[in-house]
Every structure is written in structure tokens, then in C-alpha cells.
Amino acid sequence: MLVGVALTGWYVGYVITAVVITIVVVLVAIILSLARRIGVQADQITSALDEARINTLPLWDVDKINGGVRSIMKSAQEARAMLGGGQ
């Protein structure tokens, strides 16, 4: 009877260990699943940002066009003044 009592503690320990290992495996699986989802979403975000960058690249040319228009307007005003026209 004394041997049975001593082994019961071992069985309880094995069961507790198995439960803890199972919980750890489940939690690691959940974490890896979420990490994969985050990776996929990060790729989608990067793709969307690249597309937005490509779609907005022409806006950088607006400043160049405005500079050209200002230069033309200034030259036209100077030419008008030189020809004796009004401001």
C-alpha cells in the first residue's frame, strides 16, 4: 500500500506536466498564427503604400510647373514694361 501512495504523486506530476506542455504548445501555435497574420497584413500594407506612392508621384511635378509659370509670368511682365505697357 505504501508503494501505491508513492506512485500516485508521480502520476499526478505526469498529468500536471502533460497539461502544462499542452497549454504551452497551444499558446505557441496561437502566437505563430497571429505572427503569420501580421506578416501577411504588413505585406498588404507595404503594397498599398507603394501603390499610393506611385499614384502621387506626379504631385511632385506641380512645384516645377508652378516655378515655370512664375518665370513665364515674370518675363511677360518685364517684356510688357519694356514695351511701354501698363503693369
Over the stretch 9-29, which tens digit does the pLDDT of each residue have? 889 999 999 999 999 999 999
DSSP-based three-state secondary structure for 84: coil
The pTM (predicted TM-score) of the whole model is: 0.58
Instruction: Pull the grid cell for residue 14.
Output: 505526469
**Contact, 87 vs 77, CB < 8 A?**
yes
Over the stretch 31-53, which tens digit does the pLDDT of each residue have? 999 999 999 999 999 999 999 99
Q: Quick one: residue 86, left, alpha or beta (phi over 0 = left, psi -120 to 50 = alpha)? A: beta
Distance of CA 39 to the CA centre of its chain: 9
**Residue for grid cell 499558446:** 27
